Amino acid sequence: MTLPVLGIDIAKLKFNACLINQSGKLRHKVFANTSTGFEQLREWLAKQGIEQLHACLEATGTYGESLALFLYQAGHTMSVVNPAAVKAFAGSRLSRTKTDRVDAELIARFCFAQVPPAWSPLPKEVRELQALVRRLEALTEMRVAEENRLEAGITVEAVKASVEELIAHLSAQIKHTEKLIRAHINTHPALLEQSQLLDSIPGIAQTTAAIILSEITDITQYKSARQVAAYAGLVPRERKSGSSVRGRTRLSKIGNARLRRALYFPAVTALRCSRFFQIWAKGLQERGKCKMSVIGAAMRKLIHLAYGVLKTGKPFDPEWTREAQNA
């Protein structure tokens, strides 16, 4: 029997819900994005005679995490989907109007038609690692912004002193957060083992390993290294059609941007310092690949190797990378 479907358009302060019941009728309601709003949603569903349903919302930062967890713990099937998938679905329906109410209905119809996979919350230790890693990312971005402001030239001494003081404070917070991340990983044997496996790959050190572990939260859900690369948006995207369209092949960049950012400098380091990567990249260069194409390929190679070591539980070994590459 098909479950009723609930589409949710989430925002910071509220969320629009669209229910498609088993008779196909639509019901709309707006709730506050708070624990009180969640309870009101439960009561509203009970009035509609709904005991179990398939709820769906877009993965849009942290706004929907509490609601997704609430519905999951209430026994409902929960899906958290890529907004690009919903956008493509809207395009296929020639949808032109965009309001919160319309978006909620669109998500509900997407869920009904596509039946996306069920979502489950991350283990507590992974959620905490992800929160720490993303906090480190935010602190680093704030420091870079202040350093750029300082380098641009500040003529007012009081403002310059304020910026320098803030940079020093952010640097201290970054070091403190890095210590918290290392302590957290060291406290959990499974995370520590996975971090050490990733650290064995040329170019990947503790910081990058922590980002990979916080973003690729369950390696068992991927059937191949290519699937992980696709999740990171690191698979090639060809642009060819007929005899006139011959675009350059580029990275798809449809996927986890944090992983792509995290792998850029490790790829550059691996190409500069690792004999293994230098020999591997030589073949690409001989085939006429430009510098950025080689770096993109190295990023993809790193994610393939990460999949290999995490899947097998064995550290990096140049002798078996050919097998990992073909996985």
Provide the β-strand partners of residue 18: 7, 28
Q: What pLDDT is recorded for position 219?
A: 85
CA 100 vs CA 10, 15, 18, 75, 267: distances in Å: 8, 8, 10, 26, 41
Q: Are residues 46 and 102 in the same domain?
A: yes
Residue with tokens 């290519």: 226
- Do 139 and 179 fall within a single domain? yes
Q: Let me know if residue 204 belongs to a domain.
A: no
DSSP state of 122: P
Per-residue pLDDT of 239-292, as tens digits, reads 555 555 455 666 667 778 889 999 999 999 999 999 999 999 998 888 888 888
Single residue among 114, 135, 153 that ends a domain in this structure: 114
Within a domain: residue 109?
Answer: yes
CB 14 within 8 A of CB 37: yes
Q: Are residues 88 and 165 located together in one domain of the fold?
A: no
For the CA atoms of 39, 41, 47, 48, what is the dihedral angle to 10 degrees? Answer: -150
Q: Which of 114, 135, 156 is the last residue of a domain?
A: 114
CATH number of the domain to which 55 belongs: 3.30.420.40
Tell me, yes or no, whether 170 and 110 share the same domain: no
115 vs 208: CA distance, rounded Å:
34
**pLDDT for position 327:** 45
Whether 200 is in a domain gets the answer: no
pLDDT in tens, 161-217: 999 999 999 999 999 999 999 999 999 999 999 999 999 999 999 999 999 999 988
Q: How many domains does the chain have?
A: 3
Q: Are residues 148 and 44 in the same domain?
A: no
CB of 45 closer than 8 Å to CB of 24: no
Can you give the residue range of the structural domain that contains 109? 5-114
Rounded Cα–Cα distance for residues 193 and 188 (Å): 9
Same domain, 297 and 217: yes
Domain boundary pick from 81, 114, 147: 114
211's tokens: 């980002």
Q: Does residue 108 sit within a domain?
A: yes
Token readout for 10 is 């989430």
Query: What's the pLDDT at 240?
Result: 54
